[in-house]
Chain A
Amino acid sequence: MVLFRSRRFLVISRILFLVLDSLLEFADSAAKDVPLINMQVVAGDPVYLPCDISTPDPHDQVLLVLWYREDLGTPIYSVDGRDRDFGLAERWSDENVFANRAYFMPEKQPAELGVDHIRESDQAVYRCRVDFKVAQTRNSKVNLTVI
């Protein structure tokens, strides 16, 4: 029991630390001009967050797609295709955010992260980072408002 409490304390303090850290991070990131799209969605509806993964050079390839919620240091969704074809890439969704509500659709133009049953707590700025084998990393943001 004591052990359980101390672990919980650790987790809570870690979350506080992350929140503080991310506030600074957000202030920092305001200065740069990553493309930002504003989207509104009604609570309960699905939403499709765009993320352009097209490669400028046909010989290049997408290695990894990371979705961040602006206030979390760890991606909330990742598509890891570094050691396999991107179509078979390993997908991971944070249990505490979208869990199994999210699914990445790389075949769409542009690619999209679909999220079902949007909740009010999903309102946030999301950043999509696309890592290519050769090309420059591409970042884009979606400011999601839940009505």
Chain B
Amino acid sequence: MYNNRLFLFSGIYCSRSLSNLRLTVPRAVRVGHSVTLQCDYDLEEAPLYSVKWYRNSDEFYRYVPKEAPPTRVFPLPGLHVDVSVSNAQKVTLLAVGRPLSGIFQCEVSADAPLFHTEIKSAPMTVAVVPDGVPTINVDKAGLERGGPLIAECFAPPASPAPNLTWYVNDQRVPGSTSSSIIRDTELLETANSRLELTGVGGSWGAIRLRCEATQFRLYRANSLVVEVKPDTPQPASVLLMGPSTNGGGWIIPSGAHLFFVLFIGAIW
């Protein structure tokens, strides 16, 4: 009996076997939009037993050709499967809701006797895209007393909060993508990033500030460029000091000695 099985085992293993599972799931999708999740595989004439889709650990769709009907859907918050276009390789979700965000997994099994199985998983986030562009507030009141130039960037509410990146004279400020986040009652998040430029007082050239907000590949927007000018401009060189983790300063090609610190808040 077992010898027989072993023979079958090696025979199927070498010639007819499930392999090369490819899972295609977008990293993010807009809330309310439709999305098709693709799971491709090579069976090499091995019979298919089942294709199972999970969100986190919950099965939400399966395709078992021997069952009638072959497809079955299990409810999840924010899930609406379009069964008419879903099959053994893909599942189409209509009007995705925010609770659906999570790890999506495709598990394919060949039929008896071996039930060879492959699994792949990928994260997908159902996102609320910001409505509008980020805005900058500049406070240079402290400059006259030798204090810092303070700038703050706010992105419109979104889920999850977009990443914010500062640009000073069109140069990206390293390590400035983190930001503090405030959650509102609809669980939307407002990203906020604060930039402090110290040692600006006295002699410096015009500084152009810009803030960029990005959310996956769904959203990328820039604030208006804010130009901060001294009352009596004088030529000099500018040294930008990045955040302490950066380990050193970098020169920007415009003027005055300018020490630069980025403050990253952590208000949750």
Question: Could you tell me if B2 and A95 are in contact, using CB atoms closer than 8 angstroms?
Answer: yes
Q: B115 touching A28 by the CB < 8 A rule?
A: no
Count of A-B contacts judged by CB separation below 8 Å: 68
Q: Which residues of A contact B59 (CB under 8 A)?
A: 136-137
Contact with A along B112-144 (1 / 0, CB 8 A): 111111111101000000000000000000000
- B123 CB to closest chain A CB (Å) equals 8
Whether the pair A29, B119 counts as a contact (CB closer than 8 A) is yes
Contact across chains for B56 and A33 when beta carbons are under 8 A apart = yes
Of chain B, the residue at the smallest CB distance from A75 is B115
A32 & B115 in contact (Cβ 8 Å cutoff):
no
Report if A73 contacts B (CB, 8 A): yes
- Flag whether A125 is at the interface (Cβ < 8 A): no
Interface size for B (C-beta < 8 A) is 34
Residues 23-36 of chain A, each 1 if its beta carbon lies under 8 Å from chain B, else 0: 00100110111100
| Residues of chain B with a CB closer than 8 A to A95's CB | 2, 5-6, 9
Cross-chain contact B113 with A29 (CB below 8 angstroms):
no
Number of interface residues of A (CB under 8 A): 32
As a 0/1 sequence over residues 15 to 52 of chain B, the CB contacts with chain A under 8 angstroms (1 = contact) are: 00010000000000000000000000000000000101
Do the beta carbons of B121 and A32 come within 8 Å of each other?
Answer: yes
Say whether B58 faces chain A, with CB atoms less than 8 Å apart: yes
Min CB distance B21 to A, Å, is 9
Q: Which of A1-52 contact B (CB under 8 A)?
A: 7, 10-11, 14, 21, 25, 28-29, 31-34
Given contacts A32-B57, A33-B57, contact A74 B5 (CB under 8 A): no
Query: B112 to chain A: closest CB distance in Å?
Result: 6
Is residue A68 contacting chain B, with contact meaning CB distance below 8 A? yes
Interface string of B38-81 (1 = CB under 8 A from A): 00000000000010101011110010001100001010000000
Residue B228, interface by CB 8 Å: no
A92 within 8 Å of B by Cβ?
Answer: yes
Binding site for B on A (CB under 8 A): 7, 10-11, 14, 21, 25, 28-29, 31-34, 64, 66, 68, 73-75, 78, 80, 82, 90, 92, 95, 99-100, 131, 133-134, 136-137, 139
By Cβ-Cβ distance, the 6 closest A-B pairs, closest first, are: A28-B121, A137-B59, A136-B59, A31-B103, A34-B57, A74-B116
A–B Cβ pairs within 8 angstroms, 7 of them: A28-B119, A29-B105, A66-B117, A73-B116, A75-B117, A90-B112, A95-B5
B residues contacting A by CB (< 8 A) are 2, 5-6, 9-10, 13-14, 18, 50, 52, 54, 56-59, 62, 66-67, 72, 74, 103, 105, 109, 112-121, 123
Given A14-B14, A80-B112, A137-B52, 8 further pairs, Cβ under 8 A:
A25-B120, A29-B121, A31-B121, A66-B109, A68-B117, A78-B115, A95-B9, A137-B62
